[in-house]
Chains A and B, each alone.
Chain A
Amino acid sequence: DGGITQSPKYLFRKEGQNVTLSCEQNLNHDAMYWYRQDPGQGLRLIYYSQIVNDFQKGDIAEGYSVSREKKESFPLTVTSAQKNPTAFYLCASIGNSMTSGGYTFGSGTRLTVV
């Protein structure tokens, strides 16, 4: 079945470390997104990419970085510059603008700073 796979499900980071969250999709979707969700809060857009080798900052990009070297993959790096990284991170993808569908989401990665 097609879908989005996020890994790991749980991740622990020490202060000052960079960590990378994986997101892979086999839906042949053009665009991919990273969202952050804090407890009891909505979704905030970190970065998105509409095509390979191109990406744009979302509303809260500071302290994060991404790459899009392959259509299927959109990893997110949480850098040491992100002062409050503990959150639930969601990856999503969407087909091209000629379709009417919504996002397909991964199951999320919960990042905790220890």
Chain B
Amino acid sequence: GDSVTQMEGPVTLSEEAFLTINCTYTATGYPSLFWYVQYPGEGLQLLLKATKADDKGSNKGFEATYRKETTSFHLEKGSVQVSDSAVYFCALRSDYKLSFGAGTTVTVRA
């Protein structure tokens, strides 16, 4: 079945560092892809999405490009802030359901 494999954490960075979180997927067809962010004690919020190959989703300085040839959707941010400390989940949509990666905990130190 459809699945998502996400880079394991935790990841610890200094402010203004470059962040990459790898995400690859296995799916039939061409699913929509998502990144969600979860701050402590809260639900998940949609960070960005891409619905077809070569689409680039972007939001709050984060970017991810839908790469069909490598079945990947890596999340990147050029200069992280302390406020970016959170858990990040990669996900794909199949029909009505989303399949999630295990989540990557990111801590940004001042």
Contacts and interface: CB of A to CB of B under 8 A. Distances in A.
B43 A90 contact: yes
Nearest to A96: B96
A106 to B, nearest CB: 5
A102 interface: yes
Interface string A15-58: 00000000000000011010000001111000010100000000
Interface in B71-110: 89, 91, 93, 95-98, 100-103, 105
Given A40-B105, A97-B95, A102 B32 contact: yes
Contact of B34 (A6, A48, A102): A102
A30 B105 CA distance: 31
A27 B96 CA distance: 15
A101 B49 contact: yes
A101 B100 CA distance: 15
Contacts, number: 61
B51 interface: yes
A8 to B, nearest CB: 14
Contact of B42 (A33, A97, A101, A108): A108
Given A100-B51, A101-B49, A102-B49, A42 B43 contact: no
Interface residues of A, number: 25
Interface of A: 6, 30-31, 33, 40-43, 48, 50, 90, 92, 94, 96-97, 100-108, 110
17 contacts: A30-B96, A33-B97, A41-B102, A42-B89, A90-B44, A92-B98, A94-B96, A94-B98, A100-B49, A100-B93, A102-B46, A102-B98, A103-B44, A103-B98, A105-B44, A107-B43, A108-B41
